Structure 1
Amino acid sequence: MGRQVVSPGPAAAHAFSLGLKAGAILGLGTIGGLYWAGVIDLLFAGYALVCLFPVYLVVLAAGLSVWLGYDKDATALRPVYRQE
């Protein structure tokens, strides 16, 4: 039996958006909580916000996209033609 291709619907789009927002709040809260607890200093908290937090968001978005069915493989590619 072949694999049925079903595109994600509006519920998946809402779940992706909500997951990114929740992940961003969780990440910022974790950095703030670690700074407030004295586990990390201000310099590392700034480094985490500027350098590590964007990478975390990209990994989070990639994980959510695979989980919600937004991932595509080579069979989803189509040739592109220029209109004249």
Structure 2
Amino acid sequence: MSDLKVTPGPGAQSAFRLGMGAAAVAGLAAVGLLYWTAVLTPLLVGFVLLLVFPIYLVFAASALSVWLGFGKDATDLRPVYREKREKTP
């Protein structure tokens, strides 16, 4: 029995966009709150924003894409064929 493959639609795309926006706002708010409570120094804020925050966004995008059905695995791959060119003399 074959599995039915359903592709995500425009609702999933807008949910992904909204989720990434919410994740970015939540991450920036967390960094701001930690800076405001003096847990992070300005040097650490720069480190977090330049190195940690992009990695956080990648993990958030990965989690959202799998949750919303954008995840692909080996069963979604197809072989690619090239047409052979005829040699002209």
Relative to the length of structure 2, the TM-score reads 0.87
Q: Matches of residues 35-54 of structure 1 in structure 2 within 5 Å?
A: 35-54=35-54
Task: Tell me the CA shift for residue 82 of structure 1.
Answer: 4.3
Q: Distance in 2 between matches of 1:45 and 1:82?
A: 51
Give the Cα–Cα distance (whole angstroms) in 1 for the partners of residues 44 and 81 of structure 2: 49
Confirm or deny that 1:29 pairs with 2:29: yes
Instruction: Decide which structure has the larger Cα Rg and report it.
Output: 2
The equivalent of 2:3 in structure 1 is 3
Structure 2 residue aligned with 1:70 = 70
Q: Which moved more, 1:38-47 or 1:1-10?
A: 1-10
Aligned-pair CA distance for 1:9: 0.5
Which residues of structure 2 form unaligned runs of 5+?
Answer: none
CA RMSD of aligned residues (A): 1.4
- Using structure 1 for the length normalisation, give the TM-score: 0.92
> 1:70: Cα distance to partner?
0.4
Partner of 1:61: 61
State the shift of 1:46 in Å. Answer: 0.6
> Whose helix proportion is higher, 1 or 2?
1
Identity, % of aligned positions: 52
